[in-house]
Amino acid sequence: MFFFRQSFDKFCWHFHSFIIPQNFVLPAYYPDLVIVCGEDNEDEYYAVKPKMIIEILSPSTSLTDRREKMFAYKEIEGLREYVMIEQNRMYAEIYRRREDGDNLWDWIEYETGEEIEFASVNFKMPMTEIYAGVELPTLEDWERENL
Residue 4 lies in a domain: no
Query: Which contacts qualify for 7-13: CB closer than 8 Å, 24 or more apart?
Result: 8/35, 8/37, 8/118, 8/121, 8/122, 8/123, 9/37, 9/121, 9/122, 9/123, 11/37, 11/38, 12/36, 12/37, 12/38, 12/51, 12/121
Query: pLDDT truncated to tens, each residue of the chain (147 aa)?
Result: 344 544 455 556 555 555 554 555 556 778 888 888 776 555 666 667 788 999 999 889 899 999 998 988 888 888 899 999 998 889 999 999 998 867 899 999 999 999 999 998 888 999 999 898 888 887 777 677 776
Q: Would you state the pLDDT for residue 5?
A: 43
CB 55 within 8 A of CB 69: yes
Q: Residue 1's pLDDT is what?
A: 33
pLDDT for position 2: 41
Number of domains forming the structure of the chain: 1
Write down the pTM of the prediction: 0.82
**CATH number of the domain to which 72 belongs:** 3.90.1570.10
Q: Does residue 6 lie in a domain region?
A: no
In a domain, 112, yes or no: yes
Is there a domain that residue 102 lies in?
yes
Does residue 52 form part of some domain? yes
Task: For residue 122, give Cα distances in angstroms to 38, 56, 118, 125.
Answer: 14, 21, 6, 11
For residue 106, being part of any structural domain is answered with: yes
- C-alpha distances (whole Å) from 62 to each of 8, 36, 41, 65 are 26, 24, 30, 5
Q: Which domain holds residue 82?
A: 12-146
- pLDDT number for residue 20: 53
Start-end of H helices in 48-133: 62-64, 70-73, 127-130
Please report whether residue 142 resides in a domain: yes
Whether 3 is covered by a domain: the verdict is no
